[in-house]
């Protein structure tokens, strides 16, 4: 299972798409970015600009404490810190590039 994260414009054109394993959910919880990525509707996050600050803080925490977050790597290699940080970086970059894009996720 995996998480599909999309940013779309009003015309429903996808401007960014990425995918990451659900195995990183615990790491996302620990970085306080789980709701922004996995369950944006539960925090009333609707457009990309709504999650920029959350992702910035979470990314900073991930980079400041790599050894802590690496504890949440899954043993089978399907979901590691080394995969998650670039995913968050790319998602944050896209959110900044398309701040008015609607957030759509498929779990």
pLDDT value for 7: 87
Domain ranges of the chain: 2-106
pTM of the complete model: 0.89
Q: How confident is the model at residue 11 (pLDDT cuts 50, 70, 90)?
A: low
| Of 11-15, 19-23, 85-89, the least confident | 11-15
SS3 per-residue string spanning the chain? CEEEEEEECCCCCEEEEEEEEHHHHHHHHHCCCHHHHCCHHHHCCCEHHHHHHHHHHHHHHHHHCHHHHHCCCCCCCCCCHHHHHHHHHHHHHHHHHCCCCEEEEEC
CA dist 5 and 20 (Å) reads 8
pLDDT digits (tens, 9 = 90+) for 50-104: 999 999 999 999 999 999 999 999 999 999 999 999 999 999 999 999 999 999 9
């Amino acid at each position: 299972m995996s998480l599909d994260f999309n940013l779309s414009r009003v015309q429903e054109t996808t401007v960014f798409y990425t995918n990451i394993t659900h195995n990183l959910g615990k790491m996302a919880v620990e970085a306080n970015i789980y709701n922004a990525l996995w369950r944006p509707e539960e925090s009333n996050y609707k457009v990309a600009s709504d999650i920029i600050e959350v992702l910035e803080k979470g990314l900073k925490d991930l980079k400041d404490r790599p050894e802590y977050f690496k504890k949440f790597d899954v043993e089978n290699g399907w979901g590691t810190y080394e995969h998650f940080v670039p995913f968050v970086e790319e998602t944050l970059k896209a959110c900044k590039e398309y701040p008015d894009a609607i957030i759509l996720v498929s779990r």
